[in-house]
Structure 1
Amino acid sequence: MRKILFAGIITLGSFLITNAQCKPVSTITENFDTWKAIGPCWTAQQGKAMLYASDKKIIFYSMTNPGENMYLITPKIKAGTYTLTLDISDNGGDTTLELFSINNTSDPKSYVSIVKPSKITGSKKTFTISLKKEANLGLKVLLNSVHQAVYVDNLSLKPKK
Structure 2
Amino acid sequence: MKRFVVAGIVTLGGFLTANAQCKPITSLVENFDTWKDINKCWTAQGGKAMLYASDKKIIFYSMTSPGENMYLVTPEIKAGTYTLSLDISDNGGDTVLEIFSAGNASDAKSYRSIAKASKITGEKKTYTISIKKDTHLALKVLLNGVHQAVYVDNFSLTSKK
Q: TM-score, normalised by structure 1?
A: 0.97
Shift of 1:10: 1.3
**SS of aligned partner of 2:17:** helix
Offset of residue 12 of structure 1: 1.4
Aligned to 1:80: 80
Output the CA distance in 1 between the equivalents of 2:12 and 2:39. 21
- The answer on 1:26 being equivalent to 2:31 is no
| Structure 2 unaligned blocks of 5 or more | none
Q: Equivalents in 2 of 1:132, 1:95: separation in Å?
A: 29
Q: Which residue of structure 2 lines up, in the alignment, with residue 126 of structure 1?
A: 126
Task: Name the aligned partner's letter for residue 89 of structure 1.
Answer: S
Count of residue pairs brought into register by the alignment: 161
What is the aligned partner in structure 2 of residue 44 from structure 1? 44
Residue by residue over 1:16-62, the C-alpha shift from the partner in whole angstroms, topping out at 9 and shown as x without a partner, is 10001101111011011111111120111000101111111111010
State whether residues 29 and 157 of structure 2, in contact with CA within 8 Å, keep that contact through their aligned partners in structure 1.
Answer: yes
RMSD across aligned positions (CA): 0.9
In the TM superposition, residue 65 of structure 1 has moved relative to its aligned partner by: 0.4
**Runs (5+) with no aligned partner, structure 1:** none
In the TM superposition, what is the alpha-carbon distance from 1:9 to its structure 2 partner? 1.4
Take 2:55 and 2:3, find their aligned partners in 1: how far apart are those partners? 43
Deviation digits for residues 80-115 of structure 1, max 9, x if unmatched? 110000000111111100001001122222111111
- Kept after mapping to 1: 8 A contact 2:49/2:62: yes
How far apart in 2 are the matches of 1:19 and 1:78?
A: 16
% identical aligned pairs? 74
TM-score (normalizing by structure 2): 0.97
User: 1:60 aligns to what?
Assistant: 60
